[in-house]
Amino acid sequence: MTTTHPKNPTTHPKNPTTNPSSVIRTRFAVRFLHAMKKLNKKTPPSRRYHTIRAAACASMASAVGPRRAWSRAILRKIRARTLHDHLIHKSRNHRLITRRKSAGLRGNPRDQEEVGFRQEDDLRGLVPGGEGMGFCRLLSETAHYIKCLRAQVQVMTNILDHYSSS
């Protein structure tokens, strides 16, 4: 038996036929479309990309919930960014400059151990919140993050197809 609620389109977790990917896709779609409704049409095109991207990231992270480290990291980053943007907006004398330091070992790339560590550091930089994790947990979070990114692409492609055919 599947139980659903109109405001929370999740399926009961005890149902063995429930596909977790479809639940995540549904949650993401609802949250993303709600965020898109709020998008201001007066937003300049150069800023619109960043707004849509932030809405997609926030929608996916909130659809997954706080169970995953990468979703907690994204939500923390968005909250900090919103606060920072608010403070920058209040004092127009500041500029927002973000630089991403590339993490990795220097040395001979032919050495297999260094290459392995470099790849691990690169993976830590790609997965939100991956900096402080053990390697096994990093791999688990990476797999889940990739699964969610695929779901996000599917939903956004379906939305685009739906609205472009209308």
The domain segmentation of the chain, as residue ranges, is 20-165
Percentage of the chain lying above the pLDDT 90 cut: 36
Phi-psi region of 65 (alpha: psi -120 to 50; beta: other; left: phi over 0): left
Query: pLDDT tens, 6-39?
Result: 444 444 445 555 677 788 899 999 999 998 888 8
For residue 95, pLDDT over 60 is answered with no
> DSSP string covering 79-130, please?
HHHHHHHHHHHHSTT------PPPP---S-TTSHHHHHHHHHHHHHHHSTTG
Mean pLDDT of 30-58: 86
Instruction: Categorize the per-residue pLDDT at 57 as very low, low, confident or very high, splitting at 50, 70 and 90.
Output: very high
**Once rounded to an integer, what is the mean pLDDT over residues 131-140?**
92
- pLDDT higher than threshold 50 for residue 98: no
Residues 6 or more apart in contact with residue 142 via CB below 8 angstroms: 123, 126, 127, 130
Q: What is the pLDDT of residue 45?
A: 81
